[in-house]
Structure 1
Amino acid sequence: MSEPAAPQVPSTRRILTGYFVLSGLYTLSAAAIWGVNTLFLLDAGLSFFEVFLANAAFSAGMVLFEVPTGVVADTLGRRVSFLLSLVVLAVTTLLYVALAEVDAGVVAFAVVSVLMGLGFTFYSGAMEAWLVDALAVTGHHGPLDGIFARGQQITGAAMLVGTVGGGLLGQIDLSLPYLVRSGLLVAVFGIAYAVMHDVGFTPRRVTVAELPSAVARNARDGVAYGWAQRPLRLLMLASFFQLGFSMWAFYASQPYMLDLLGSDAVWIAGLVTAGIALSTIAGNQLVEVLSRRCGRRTTLLLGAATVETGAAVALGLVSSFWLALPALLLIMGASGVTSPVRQAYLHQVVPSDKRATVVSFDSMISNTGGVGGQVGLGALGESRSVGAAFVAGGIVTGLALPLLGRVRAIGGAPDRIVGTKAGVESPCAASGLPAVAAIETAPVQ
């Protein structure tokens, strides 16, 4: 009797297409409420500070559930984790609408926000781990910076469409973007169920009795393969300050920009958020352009961090919408440079079977900063002014600069951006920076 044929290995192109499509559709669905969320919560009866208490609860949920949901991705599989994310987000988004209808108050919104954070933790790490596992099977060994940047360009475009559409729907009724979001998430569930399968990773069952030990093991792995590695620890601490500010800034900019303009038009908030999406795409595109001119990831990280800090302080000091808007876009454009470069650096260091765990641990650290940033800056924005909170937040992001400088001093292979051909030298070599001598083959995510 002949042996059964081995399963066909998908092509690199098919894997990348699946990653780009699912990530784009997920972001399109989620982004429907991003441009109006602060306005929705204010309309639901929450104060400015209470809005950010609810948002901080969301970040706290991500901190609380990052490691446990990492167990799901690393045992039951990346596909199961992604599908669970879609279900939880669809349900909690509908609960937001229900709470607003009955004027439920900040406590109820905070509870649902924690559960919404659970939904996003099922997604964080799982999709990236699925991509890199599958790419390893196809034999892809090229640099990931461009892939992550292209993926973020696609999600940025999806965010553009989602926020503009959400803003227009919100002009009719602020609850409409939430209803549309839930419907889109259900549609994405159907697509993902049909086309997404674990490749290069073998799921395994975990009993309820095994869960506590599995969570503890993942926590230990997150420390051992993430926090315990000095360059990753420094990157996580830098992200703690940067994302702690940017999470607050994204949502605080909605009422702040309308106040500067002297308008209450919801669709303008949607357009501003769409501008944020475009600036993020531009930052992603710069990664590919600048990577051809300089061979060190820390060069890009330091440059982007400097721009973010300066633009954040400027945003809080100006009193004109037309001066504040470019500053806001610079902040988000800098984030568009930082994110894919950080991803690529991390995935050059972390071993294959620990990818989802370490990415989740990294997200947990960032969201811990988000809790403090949203509560602290939200309180400052209500007691003093939103402009003062932007200045304070910008100063805090400056703390990331010396941390990134120490990562640069460590150097090593993860800091090098490798060309597509062996022996390609970086133009930065002429400036005293190390040349790139060969293609890197370290595990990628």
Structure 2
Amino acid sequence: MNRKSASQIYIFMSFMMALGNSIMFTTSGIYHVSTLGLNPFELVLMGTVLELTVLIFEGITGVVADTYSRKISVIIGMFILGAGFAVEGSILWLHGLVSVISVFAWVVISQLLFGIGWTFVSGANTAWMVDEAGEEHAGAILMKSQRMSLIATLLGIACSVGLSAAAPNLTFLTGGILYAALGIALFFWMKETGFVRKGHASHESHFRRMLGTWLDGAGVVRRQPLLLAMIAVTLLSGAASEGYDRLWQSFLITGVGMPGLPVPIAVWFGVVSAAATLIGLIGVRLAEKKMDMGSRRAISAAMFWFTLIRIAAILSLAFATNFAWAILSVLVVSAARSVSEPVYDTWLNMNLESQTRATVLSMVSQSDALGQTAGGPVVGWIGSRASVRASILTAGVLLLPVLGVFGRIARQKKGDQQRETPS
């Protein structure tokens, strides 16, 4: 498969996934609270079920992708995701059909499907793209993919508002249809020519093959101290992001206070979400033009600065005393995250071997899920014992080790370049 075709398919895949996610999750709170009647504990437990599912299945599905096929893994994931979102959008109908299963139990089932489906896609989609397009082109493709995903997010926000006004469950039904349609499209369009299966003895069982692939991936991590350190600090990053994502809206409402204008809170947050997406889109476009995504040193240095900006913005939010200050901090956090995501993915793939790429990417995702599952509640507990401001401050502090790791990487890459440069 040629590089251009692989690039186009990957960008199309990312665009459609971002569109579906934006349609579903922009107004998901209205559906979960107003239509399904979930209480705060059930809302938190729903997220915990999702993260635990990802934590358990991520390593298994990553090994499947590396042992058998990235394409098959991605397509299976799309259909499972489509089924999960369709279930979530049909909960009231399903509850009426099978009343012995409670509404919340159906929510848990949908989250289990969501988590399992996502683990089949996560890691496998990027590993497929890098193998087909080449590692040297991956950075540029990931950056363009992020830009197109942000455009899809803007479109999805508008669609979500319109569909939710008609019927709140339509957003999830639409998302389920989009994911299923994407699975069908990929079945016909997606080719796999760059991936070479690892040789196995004919008498080996499927379990032994998958175990061997997992052990190979673990060996890659063990042989690269910086990659091992990155997986370790991803625990802290996951805890920080979970705490921040769950609490920044609450902090604006209760910690800083909303402006005294006759505008519903939902509208405020919709405007903030759209503004953050637009700023992120501008940031990604500038990074596309200015950054050398094929340079290990440039990418390492960029990750250091993006992490520093993100930490500074989160700490700024923690100390904000008025709405304008707080909103500016939120927008900077969002922009830094939008630009840093494709850069981080590029950095990871530059340090991975093709045969175990999906497995190691899944290990990183597992580390993030573990951090969110275990650390997020701790950050929330600090908020309940002290204040939401203290939780936001804790989230910023938890990212400091990540800054240290990227600083070390950037210094090492600079030193390597100096040694390689002839005097």
TM-score (ref. length: structure 1): 0.79
Whether 1:218 and 2:210 are equivalent positions in the alignment is no
Whether 1:231 and 2:223 are equivalent positions in the alignment is no
Report if aligned partners of 2:300, 2:347 keep a CA contact under 8 Å in 1: no
Alignment root-mean-square deviation, CA: 3.4
State the 1:64 CA deviation. Answer: 0.9
Report if aligned partners of 1:76, 1:203 keep a CA contact under 8 Å in 2: yes
State the 1:168 CA deviation. Answer: 3.8
Query: Per the alignment, in what secondary structure is the counterpart of residue 44 of structure 2?
Result: helix
1:374 corresponds to which of 373, 376, 398? 376
- Deviation per CA, 1:359-415: give whole Å up to 9, x if none: 1111111221121243333444556554442222122122322222233343379x9
Distance (whole Å) between structure 2 residues aligned to residue 373 and residue 174 of structure 1: 32
Letter in 2 for 1:389: S
Distance (whole Å) between structure 1 residues aligned to residue 237 and residue 149 of structure 2: 20
Alpha-carbon distance change, 225 to 334 in structure 1, aligned in 2, over 3 angstroms:
same
2:258 corresponds to which of 257, 261, 264? 261
Distance (whole Å) between structure 2 residues aligned to residue 107 and residue 133 of structure 1: 40
Alpha-carbon distance change, 85 to 97 in structure 1, aligned in 2, over 3 angstroms:
same
Distance (whole Å) between structure 2 residues aligned to residue 166 and residue 228 of structure 1: 46
Q: Partner residue of 2:277?
A: 277
Q: Partner residue of 1:33?
A: 24
Q: Partner residue of 2:168?
A: 174
Query: Per the alignment, in what secondary structure is the counterpart of residue 142 of structure 1?
Result: helix
1:135 corresponds to which of 124, 127, 133? 133
Q: Partner residue of 1:425?
A: none
Distance (whole Å) between structure 2 residues aligned to residue 312 and residue 327 of structure 1: 7
Whether 1:245 and 2:246 are equivalent positions in the alignment is no
Report if aligned partners of 2:197, 2:355 keep a CA contact under 8 Å in 1: no
Whether 1:17 and 2:27 are equivalent positions in the alignment is no
**Gaps in structure 1 of 5+ consecutive residues:** 1-9, 417-433, 439-445
Alpha-carbon distance change, 360 to 292 in structure 1, aligned in 2, over 3 angstroms:
closer
State the 1:123 CA deviation. Answer: 0.8
Letter in 2 for 1:26: M
Distance (whole Å) between structure 2 residues aligned to residue 324 and residue 171 of structure 1: 29
More helix per residue: 1 or 2?
2
State the 1:287 CA deviation. Answer: 3.3
Q: Partner residue of 2:50?
A: 58
**Gaps in structure 2 of 5+ consecutive residues:** 96-100
Q: Residues 73-112 of structure 1 correspond to what in structure 2 (within 5 A)?
A: 73-99=65-91, 104=102, 109-112=107-110
Report if aligned partners of 1:226, 1:358 keep a CA contact under 8 Å in 2: yes
Alpha-carbon distance change, 77 to 382 in structure 1, aligned in 2, over 3 angstroms:
same
Q: Partner residue of 1:328?
A: 330
Distance (whole Å) between structure 2 residues aligned to residue 284 and residue 133 of structure 1: 24
Report if aligned partners of 1:125, 1:360 keep a CA contact under 8 Å in 2: yes
- Deviation per CA, 1:314-353: give whole Å up to 9, x if none: 2234354433222112112212232222222222221221
Distance (whole Å) between structure 1 residues aligned to residue 382 and residue 102 of structure 2: 25
TM-score (ref. length: structure 2): 0.83
Distance (whole Å) between structure 2 residues aligned to residue 171 and residue 319 of structure 1: 35
State the 1:246 CA deviation. Answer: 2.4
Letter in 2 for 1:361: M
Number of equivalences: 407
